[in-house]
Chains A and B, each alone.
Chain A
Amino acid sequence: MKTSKPDYILFDRDTQAIIFNEQRKAIQRMLDFDYISRREKPSVAAIVSPGREGYLKVFFGKREILIPIYPTLREAVEQKPHADVLINFASFRTAYSVTKEALFYDTIRTIAVIAEGIPERFERELAALAKKLGKWIIGPATVGGLRAGAFRIGNTGGSIENLTMLKLYRPGSVGLVTVSGGMLNEMFNIVHQNSNGAFEGIAIGGDRYPGSTLLDHLLRYEANPDIKMMVMLGEVGGTKEYEVVEALKAGKLTKPLVAWVTGTSAKVFPTEVQFGHAGAMATSASETAEAKNQALREAGAIVPESFDDLGDKIREVFEDLKAKGEIPEIEEFEPPKVPMDYADALKKGIIRKPKEFICTISDDSGEELLYAGVPISEVIEKDYGIGGVIGLLWFKKELPEYARRFIELSIVITADHGPAVSGAHNAIVAARAGKDVISSLASGLLTIGPRFGGAIADAAKEFKRAFDAGMTAEEFVNDMKRQGKYIPGIGHRVKSVKNPDKRVELLKDFAFKNFPNTELLNFALEVEKLTTAKRDNLILNVDGCIGVLFVDLMRSTGLFSEKEIDEFIEMGGLNALFVLGRSIGIIGHVFDQKRLKTRLYRHPYDDILYIHPDEEKEFFGG
Chain B
Amino acid sequence: MAQKGIREYHAKKILARWLPEYSNGEFKLHGKYALVTPETSLDELAEKEKWLKEDRLVVKPDQLFGKRGKHGLVLLNATFDEAKKWIDEHMGKEVQIGKVKGKLTHFLVEPFIPHEKEYYVAIKDDRDADHIYFSTEGGVDIEANWDKVIQIDVPVLEDIDNIDLRTPLSAQLSGEELDRIERFIRALYKVYRDLFFAFLEINPFAVTESGEIVPLDLVARLDDCAEYWAAKKWGDIEFPAPFGRELTPEEKYIKELDEKTGASLKLTVLNPKGRVWTMVAGGGASVIYTDTIADLGYAKELANYGEYSGNPSTQFTYEYAKTILDLMTREPDPRGKILIIGGGIANFTDVAKTFKGIIMALREYADKLKENKVKIYVRRGGPNYKEGLRLMRELGKELGIPIEVYGPELHMTRVVRLALEGNPETQEQKA
**Chain A residues within CB distance 8 Å of chain B:** 25-26, 29, 92-93, 116-121, 124-125, 127-129, 132, 143, 155-159, 162, 165, 178-186, 188-190, 206, 208-209, 233, 235-236, 262-265, 268-281, 289, 306-308, 311, 348
Contacts and interface: CB of A to CB of B under 8 A. Distances in A.
Given A119-B223, A143-B347, A158-B345, A264 B294 contact: yes
A268 B302 contact: yes
A162 B264 CA distance: 23
Nearest to B157: A128
Contact of B286 (A93, A128, A276): A276
Contact of A275 (B228, B283, B346): B283
B284 A308 contact: no
Given A132-B157, A278-B1, A307-B413, A119 B344 contact: no
B322 interface: no
Given A118-B225, A182-B309, A275 B294 contact: no
Interface string B232-258: 000000000011110000000000000
B157 A125 contact: yes
B295 interface: yes
Closest 7 CB pairs of A and B: A276-B283, A180-B284, A186-B344, A182-B282, A183-B284, A265-B294, A278-B2
B6 to A, nearest CB: 15
B401 interface: no
A143 B292 CA distance: 25
B156 A124 contact: yes
Contacts of B226: 119, 121
Contacts of A188: 345
Interface bin, chain B: 35 or more
Contact of A158 (B99, B242, B346, B411): B346
Contacts of A165: 408
Given A158-B345, A162-B345, A271-B242, A277 B283 contact: yes
A155 B387 CA distance: 20
B153 to A, nearest CB: 13
A120 B130 CA distance: 12
Interface stretch (B159-167, B326-334, B378-386): B378-386
A235 B291 CA distance: 11
A208 B198 CA distance: 11
A92 B225 contact: yes
Contacts of A233: 284
A278 B225 contact: yes
B288 A271 contact: no
Contact of B284 (A128, A178, A271, A311): A178
B125 A307 contact: no
A265 B287 contact: yes
Contacts of B48: none
B225 A311 contact: no
Contact of A262 (B125, B128, B288, B417): B288
A127 B127 contact: yes
A107 to B, nearest CB: 23
Contacts of A179: 284
A180 B282 contact: yes
A271 B243 contact: yes
A121 B193 contact: yes
Given A162-B382, A276-B284, A182 B344 contact: yes
A308 B417 contact: yes
Contacts of A265: 287, 290-291, 293-295, 299
Given A119-B225, A278-B1, A308 B411 contact: yes
A91 B411 CA distance: 34
Nearest to B293: A265
A182 B127 contact: no
A278 B156 CA distance: 20
B2 A281 contact: yes
Contacts of B384: 159
Nearest to B125: A120
Interface in B365-383: 381-383
Given A269-B270, A308-B413, A235 B2 contact: no
B346 A185 contact: yes
Given A265-B295, A268-B294, 17 more contacts: A116-B1, A117-B1, A120-B3, A125-B156, A128-B155, A155-B347, A158-B348, A158-B381, A162-B408, A182-B283, A183-B344, A186-B381, A265-B299, A271-B100, A271-B242, A306-B413, A308-B417
Interface string B139-176: 00000000000000001110000000000000000000
A155 B193 CA distance: 35
A116 B281 CA distance: 17
B287 A263 contact: yes
B80 to A, nearest CB: 34
B347 A129 contact: no
Contacts of A268: 270, 290, 294, 299, 302
Contacts of B346: 158, 182, 185
A271 B244 contact: yes
B412 interface: yes
B137 to A, nearest CB: 23
B408 A189 contact: yes
B223 A120 contact: yes
A208 B284 contact: no
B79 interface: no
A124 B156 CA distance: 7
Nearest to B245: A271
Contact of A183 (B1, B288, B299): B288
17 contacts: A119-B196, A119-B225, A120-B225, A124-B127, A162-B383, A165-B408, A180-B282, A182-B309, A208-B2, A209-B127, A264-B295, A271-B99, A273-B305, A279-B2, A306-B291, A306-B295, A348-B387
Nearest to A119: B226
Contacts of A279: 2
Contacts of B270: 268-270
Contact of B344 (A185, A276, A311): A185
